[in-house]
Amino acid sequence: MALPKLYMNPGSCTTGIHIILQELDVLFEVYPVNLLAGQHETAEFKALNPKSSIPMLITEEGRVLTEFQAIAWWLGRSYPQAGFLGSSLDDEISILEVMDYVVATVHMQGFARIFTTDKFSPNADEHEAVKQQGLAIIAKAMDIIGKQFIGREYVIGNFSIADAALFYVEFWAVKTNIKLPVNCMAHYQRMLKRPAVRQVLMEEGYRFSGAA
């Protein structure tokens, strides 16, 4: 049977799905999609995913999965022995709550305003204000998320798919010099100590020293 195929771009939100696959020790094929070169807008890519978005995962059976949360959930359900969805309904709800807040708010509302400012306003005079809005959205959301798991090492205690989502926005924050709340910074550093995370970052071309 064919291996699952991950369509990704190093350092993008796809890093979160890459981490889950690596943590699961699943064999998969990597298909880099160069966003800057517009590869996600080609007819070939759109024939697979008309949303033109990554991450995209094509399963062993050939099913095309899109949307971070859907892909992460599919992986969690497909490899239940790993326990990446926790062990109770409470765990599942906490995972979904954090993952959705990370993707829909921190990423799509916050970082999107910083990385793709012109999509929010064609007027260059407004770009600084749009970026500041993005920064405010990120600061508020990360503060809320950080408080949500005080006293726990990971979102639900043990590593789950929500930690991979949280990590990619923490990684972006560190890379763009956005200050993280203490608990999120500790989470980021804890994630960096995980062999699978280090492996993914190395494969995606990042070098880092020590724990942070």
Ligand X SMILES: N[C@@H](CCC(=O)N[C@@H](CS)C(=O)NCC(=O)O)C(=O)O
Using CB under 6 A as the criterion, which residues of the chain lie in contact with ligand X when the complex forms? 12-13, 35, 40, 52-55, 67-68, 103
Where are any strands of DSSP class E within the chain? 5-8, 29-32, 56-58, 64-66
We find the least distance from the C-beta atom of residue 62 to ligand X, in angstroms, to be 19
DSSP 108: I
We find the least distance from the C-beta atom of residue 163 to ligand X, in angstroms, to be 16
As beta bridge partners, residue 6 has: 30, 57
Q: Cβ contacts of residue 64 below 8 Å, gap of 6+?
A: 48, 49, 56, 57, 58
Estimate to the nearest angstrom the gap between the alpha carbon of 28 and the chain centroid.
18
Which residue's CB is nearer to ligand X, number 73 or number 183? Answer: 73
We find the least distance from the C-beta atom of residue 84 to ligand X, in angstroms, to be 17
| Residue 86 contacts residue 96 (beta carbons within 8 Å) | no
Which residue's CB is nearer to ligand X, number 67 or number 97? Answer: 67
We find the least distance from the C-beta atom of residue 133 to ligand X, in angstroms, to be 18
| Residue 1 contacts residue 41 (beta carbons within 8 Å) | no
We find the least distance from the C-beta atom of residue 51 to ligand X, in angstroms, to be 7
CA dist list (Å): 63 to 13, 74, 189: 21, 11, 35
Which residue's CB is nearer to ligand X, number 30 or number 186? Answer: 30
Which residue's CB is nearer to ligand X, number 161 or number 183? Answer: 161
Which residue's CB is nearer to ligand X, number 53 or number 148? Answer: 53
